[in-house]
Amino acid sequence: MLLSRIFGRTLFAAAKSETSNATAAAASVARNPLQEFFEADRNIDDDKPVVYASVWNPILEWMEKKLSGWKRLYLSKGGRLTLLKSTLSSVPTYYLSLFVIPVAVVDRLERIQRNFLWGSLEECFKYPLVAWEKVCLPIDMGDLGIRKLVHFNKALLGKWLWRFGQEGSHLWRRVIATKYGEGQGGWTTKICSRAHGCGLWRGIHDGWENFSKHVALVVGDGTRILFWHDKWVGDNSLKRLYPQLYVCSNDKEACISDVLCFLEGGNDRIWNLRFHRDFHERELEAAFSFLEFIHSRIPRGGGSDTSQWCLNGNGKFDTWSYYHNMRGEVASNFPWKGVWKAKIPKRVAFFVWTAVHGQILTLNNLKLRGCILVNRCCMCHQNEETVDQLLLHCPVAHSLWVYMFQIFETQWVMPGRSWKASELRLKSWDDLNKLWYVLLKEKNMLMTQRQMLHSQNLRFPNPERIPKVRKSMCRIKQVLTERAIEEPDARRSAEMKRMINAL
């Protein structure tokens, strides 16, 4: 009875608001939460509604205490980032690895973190300069690498799904299997229906559908792996690869051991599949392909069936590989090493990161946020104060860049001006093609941006940029034409001219 209550809905009622005060809640973070559940279980009234979010009150209070207001006043943004990561890494994982975190709790925790990072207080609002979704991306994708709590919570819960299929003789696993029943093969439990599955395991089991996509089964004796339904021949099951043959099968729920038998007087094994009708002519090609496919994959046998984690090289589950998979990360060309690996103070790196994203609070960005003001560059008083204007194109900033390049004897084409033909003649054929591609993307981006701003009755900030890009593209075409004319091989020259006309 007691174990049933622990793994049932009463587990979530252990931290009811009337059984704790602020002091006890703050102190309970350091204690083992299961001990609290046993103690609180004595006074639970099953007829009262369960307060799910109250379990997280100690975490919320602890987070607010760690990220208190005075710290954001005296720390730079780089210091806040360091403290924020330190705080998140020390959040007690008992809660995150046992409970599905409620959406309301996630919103509140992320609001606490966001306000701390950007310096917002109740009496003083500060603009969040970069979207929180970007902030939570990894550093090597160009962002700050703060954990996304929802995905980190699911990754920690995935550990229990993995252990359920591996630890067949452990007590906790036998208790769960007895209450909810085992699915075929014993890799997980049966579906937890609402009538009896509203407790701790229900929340964990809800992630099985996504989790199972990254688990491959390795055939041993074949007693735990379904021939048609499980993924043991690759990324898909045989049911998905050959749906027409699956419909005709007599052994839809058979294990591999049921359809694999030994030849008489030998150690060789063959498939023994049965179908309830002959194949139609249109199904023969699929049938031959199916038979050839499974005969090339006859298991060697020996040992027990095992599972393998597909998101890393060693085949064993780890939280970080699952977390990064759920984040859906893609390759990025953000120069993160130049920002975060440079030997500069963290607050400077944070400013550079914000500037690369184009989100520092220039007058133009403030205007886009609804502020009514005169938008003029604070240094040259000529153009609108955009990020590019302030840091690159302004005559004051430009003279500083030129001075720095002269000191280090570096040649660099400054943004905001067009390429000269004399510069382009020094480039190789491949470099000119790459430069054409970059300028074409730049022109398309500027045209799209101008069209969007005009549709919103907003002024395009860099009207002179488009003519400069077009001028550079015309000069590239001029240089390529010159090379085609000078090419001694007439056939090669004709090919080059056709390529130039296609540009």
DSSP string, 121-161: BTTB-----S-HHHHTS-GGGTS-----HHHHHHHHHHHHH
Strand partners, 309: 215
- Would you place residue 411 in the very low, low, confident or very high pLDDT band (cuts 50, 70, 90)? low
- Would you place residue 265 in the very low, low, confident or very high pLDDT band (cuts 50, 70, 90)? low
Residue 480 and residue 423 in contact, taking contact as beta carbons nearer than 8 Å: no
Least confident of 15-19, 72-76, 481-485: 15-19
- Would you place residue 153 in the very low, low, confident or very high pLDDT band (cuts 50, 70, 90)? very high
Top pLDDT among 490 and 104 is at 104
- Would you place residue 318 in the very low, low, confident or very high pLDDT band (cuts 50, 70, 90)? very high
| Model pLDDT, residue 384 | 84
Q: What six digits make up the tokens of 403?
A: 């001075």
Q: What six digits make up the tokens of 471?
A: 């001028």
In the DSSP assignment, the letter for residue 190 is: P
Residue 271 and residue 259 in contact, taking contact as beta carbons nearer than 8 Å: yes
d(CA 311, CA 141): 19
Least confident of 1-15, 72-86, 321-335, 464-478: 1-15
Q: Tell which residue, 68, 50, 141, 110, has the closest CA to residue 357.
A: 141
Q: How far is CA 69 from the centre of its chain?
A: 30
d(CA 49, CA 61): 23
Helix, strand, coil abundance in the chain, percent, nearest 5: 55, 5, 40
Calculate what percentage of the chain has a pLDDT beyond 90.
Answer: 6
Q: What six digits make up the tokens of 175?
A: 């208790």
Q: Is the pLDDT of residue 156 over 90?
A: yes
| Model pLDDT, residue 22 | 35
Residue 192 and residue 5 in contact, taking contact as beta carbons nearer than 8 Å: no
Rg, Å, the chain Cα set? 32
- Would you place residue 163 in the very low, low, confident or very high pLDDT band (cuts 50, 70, 90)? very high
Q: Is the pLDDT of residue 498 over 90?
A: no
- Would you place residue 417 in the very low, low, confident or very high pLDDT band (cuts 50, 70, 90)? low
Q: Is the pLDDT of residue 247 over 60?
A: yes
CA distances from 292 to 180, 271, 279, 288 (A): 39, 11, 16, 6
What is the rounded average pLDDT of the residues 56-67?
84
| Model pLDDT, residue 27 | 42
Helix (H, G, I), strand (E, B) or coil at 262: strand
Report the b/e string of 356-365 with b at 16+ CB within 10 A.
bbebbebbbb
| Model pLDDT, residue 8 | 42
Calculate what percentage of the chain has a pLDDT beyond 70.
Answer: 82
Q: What six digits make up the tokens of 184?
A: 């075929």
- The single-letter code of the amino acid at 408 is F
User: Mean pLDDT over all residues of the chain?
Assistant: 78
| pLDDT per position as a tens digit, 272-283 | 888 888 888 888
Which are the contacts of 139, defined by CB distance < 8 A and separation ≥ 6? Answer: 145, 336, 340
| Model pLDDT, residue 197 | 45
Domains of the chain by residue range: 196-325, 336-408, 424-502
Q: Is the pLDDT of residue 53 over 80?
A: no
d(CA 19, CA 58): 13
What counts of helices (H) and strands (E) characterise the chain?
Answer: 27, 4
d(CA 379, CA 389): 10
Does the reported pTM lie above 0.85?
no
Q: Is the pLDDT of residue 196 over 70?
A: no
| pLDDT per position as a tens digit, 175-192 | 998 888 888 788 888 887
